[in-house]
């Protein structure tokens, strides 16, 4: 059986740190907490769970802090988590089993990272991350912000999920790190161009963000998952900038990289709905529900292949007077999200306006 060092970097996490350590503390063999400058009770809470609490002077470099935490690990494997993550009970069970059964020739284990949820608690957005690694491999973190773990070797795609429950409000910390690097004249990597664009977009600096997405895509060197997401986000920027031509061009740009993902198909459907070209919109939403979502390490919006395209098909068919088909798609959407208020409203509308009801 492998042994596990849990390595975490924290700062002002008094509201969430105990929760994650209680969630996983009885499974791991060692807990390493690296504090980057807390002014609340974070360190006091950390000492309740471990004596391995270290200070790290913050140098605006997340990779440096994470590499420092990894350097303190002594067990055979390293698990990394953030303070606002949790393991649900079924994933605690899964991690215990993984610890008992993991083959010694596996260098890294990927786990789904569940980021967003609907009103019923179903996962709507997730991606895979390299989460558990063999310490002897010496894997290093790279990147001052939006850092990543550079890995290689044999891997296992695990079903153990890490669930993200962010409680802190969004700040401009990451944007300011990029701004300082920008002002210092640093040459950004392809990955930096993408994540800087994301920060700009998240702060409603759409025109500047569009420029960086475009620069990233023009390198021709981006990871395919980032390329597709960049096209989608570029189209969002142009939506905010009310430039429909550029919005459409950005979406079709995504088709260069792979057959259309459900997210791309839905975004194209949305574009044509706004243009009141409902037949064309129907084509793209049908694409979204006919495509099996790709299994990748990238971000996955699960709604784009489940209830959302059916809800939009309901709208399209209603607009062109095909009420029975509209009703049927609304019912199919309800199968995925039975408490969704828009779909329940639609069900009542079809019953009262068109005498259409679901068969028993």
Does residue 102 have a pLDDT over 80? yes
Given this model, what pLDDT does residue 260 score?
93
DSSP letter at 12? S
Neighbours of 17 (CB within 10 A): 26
Does residue 253 have a pLDDT over 90? yes
> Token pair for residue 315?
């709208």
Query: Which candidate, 237, 214, 293, places its Cα nearest to that of 260?
Result: 293
CA distance 240 to 191: 24
Q: Are strands 77-80 and 148-150 parallel, antiparallel or unpaired?
A: unpaired
Residue given tokens 């020739």 in the structure block: 105
- Residue pLDDT, tens place only, 77-88: 999 999 999 999
Given this model, what pLDDT does residue 360 score?
61
Confidence of residue 166 (pLDDT cuts 50, 70, 90): confident
- Strands (E) in the chain, as ranges, are 4-10, 30-35, 53-55, 77-80, 85-86, 108-117, 123-134, 140-142, 148-150, 155-157, 162-164, 300-301
171-258, CATH topology level? 1.25.40
Given this model, what pLDDT does residue 311 score?
98
Query: Which candidate, 91, 137, 82, places its Cα nearest to that of 112?
Result: 91
The CATH number given to 4-164 is: 3.90.550.10
The CATH number given to 273-360 is: 1.25.40
Does residue 293 have a pLDDT over 80? yes
Given this model, what pLDDT does residue 287 score?
97
- Residue pLDDT, tens place only, 331-349: 999 999 999 999 999 999 9
Phi and psi torsions of 138, nearest 5°: 65, 30
Does residue 167 have a pLDDT over 90? no
196 vs 169, more confident: 196
Topology agreement, domain 171-258 and domain 273-360: yes
CA distance 288 to 272: 14
Confidence of residue 46 (pLDDT cuts 50, 70, 90): very high
Confidence of residue 119 (pLDDT cuts 50, 70, 90): confident
Is 91:20 a contact under the CB 8 Å cutoff? no
Using alpha carbons, list the distances in angstroms from residue 217 to 153, 228, 253: 28, 9, 10
* pLDDT averaged over every residue in the chain: 96
Confidence of residue 302 (pLDDT cuts 50, 70, 90): very high
Mean pLDDT on 38-50: 98
- Residue pLDDT, tens place only, 197-233: 999 999 999 999 999 999 999 999 999 999 999 999 9
CA distance 58 to 193: 23
Does residue 169 have a pLDDT over 80? no
Given this model, what pLDDT does residue 237 score?
98
Does residue 157 have a pLDDT over 80? yes
How far does CA 348 lie from the centroid of its chain?
Answer: 34
Given this model, what pLDDT does residue 359 score?
77
DSSP string, 173-195: HHHHHHHHHHHTTPPPPHHHHHH
DSSP letter at 255? G
> Token pair for residue 21?
């350590």
Which residues lie below 8 Å from residue 140, measured CB to CB, with a gap of 6+?
A: 63, 67, 70, 149, 150
User: Kind and range of the H or E element at 116?
Assistant: strand 108-117
Domain ranges across the chain: 4-164, 171-258, 273-360
């Amino acid at each position: 059986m492998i042994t596990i060092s849990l390595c975490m970097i924290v700062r002002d996490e008094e509201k969430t740190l105990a929760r994650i350590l209680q969630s996983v503390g009885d499974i791991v063999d060692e807990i390493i907490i690296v504090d980057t400058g807390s002014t609340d009770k974070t360190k006091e809470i950390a000492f309740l769970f471990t004596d391995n609490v270290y200070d790290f002077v913050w140098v605006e470099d997340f990779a440096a802090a994470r590499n420092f935490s990894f350097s303190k690990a002594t067990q055979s494997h390293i698990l990394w988590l953030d303070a606002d993550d949790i393991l649900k009970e079924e994933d605690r069970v899964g991690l215990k089993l993984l610890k008992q059964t993991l083959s010694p020739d596996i260098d890294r284990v990927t786990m789904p990272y569940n980021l967003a949820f609907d009103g019923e608690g179903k996962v709507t957005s997730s991606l895979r991350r390299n989460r558990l690694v063999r310490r002897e491999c010496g894997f290093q973190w790279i990147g001052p912000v939006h850092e990543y773990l550079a890995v290689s070797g044999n891997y296992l795609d695990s079903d153990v999920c890490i669930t993200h429950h962010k409680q802190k409000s969004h700040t401009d910390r990451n944007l300011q790190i990029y701004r300082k690097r920008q002002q210092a004249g640093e040459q950004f990597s392809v990955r930096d161009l993408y994540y800087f664009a994301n920060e700009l977009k998240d702060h409603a600096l759409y025109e500047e963000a569009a420029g960086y997405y475009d620069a990233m895509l023009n390198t021709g060197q981006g990871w395919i998952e980032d390329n597709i997401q960049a096209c989608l986000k570029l189209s969002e920027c142009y939506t905010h900038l009310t430039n429909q031509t550029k919005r459409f061009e950005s979406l079709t740009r995504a088709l260069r990289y792979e057959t259309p993902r459900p997210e791309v198909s839905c975004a194209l459907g949305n574009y044509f709905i706004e243009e009141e070209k409902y037949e064309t919109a129907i084509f793209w939403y049908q694409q979204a529900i006919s495509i099996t979502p790709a299994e990748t390490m990238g971000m996955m919006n699960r709604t784009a292949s489940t209830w959302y395209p059916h809800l939009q098909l309901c709208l399209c068919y209603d607009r062109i007077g095909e009420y029975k088909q509209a009703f049927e798609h609304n019912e199919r959407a309800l199968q995925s999200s039975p408490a969704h208020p828009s779909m329940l409203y639609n069900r009542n509308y079809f019953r009262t306006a068109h005498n259409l009801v679901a068969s028993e």
